[in-house]
């Protein structure tokens, strides 16, 4: 077994309202920061053991789809690093 760290980025899909990001964007603009858009995302770092990087990715994908993200409204990216 090898040790891996998975980094999972979860964000709302385009077109889904993101009130937290809009509130933050307006606050930044009131502070005179110019920006085109702002999106909020969650990041999870998961340490796990697996036989291969592919097995680790499959396991983290299952975790993400079952709990960390709602595939109906979220997009996500998974990065796997071997320790």
Domain at 11, CATH number = 3.30.1280.10
Give the pLDDT score at 16: 94
Q: How many domains does the chain have?
A: 1
- Structure tokens, 52: 């291969």
Instruction: Please say whether the beta carbons of 82 and 4 come within 8 A.
Output: yes
Q: How far apart are alpha carbons 2 and 65 in whole angstroms?
A: 23
Domain span holding position 45: 2-82
For residue 53, the model assigns a pLDDT of: 97
Task: Determine the pLDDT at residue 82.
Answer: 96
Mean pLDDT, consecutive 10-residue stretches, the chain (83 aa), reads: 97 94 96 94 97 98 97 96 95
Could you tell me how far CA 65 lies from the centroid of its own chain? 12
């Amino acid at each position: 077994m090898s040790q891996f760290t998975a980094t999972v980025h979860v964000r709302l899909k385009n077109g889904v309202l993101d009130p937290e990001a809009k509130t933050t964007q307006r606050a930044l603009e009131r502070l005179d920061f110019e920006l085109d858009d702002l999106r909020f995302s969650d990041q999870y770092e998961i340490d796990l053991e697996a036989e291969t990087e592919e097995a680790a990715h499959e396991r983290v994908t299952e975790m993400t789809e079952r709990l960390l993200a709602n595939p109906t409204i979220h997009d996500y990216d998974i990065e796997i690093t071997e320790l």
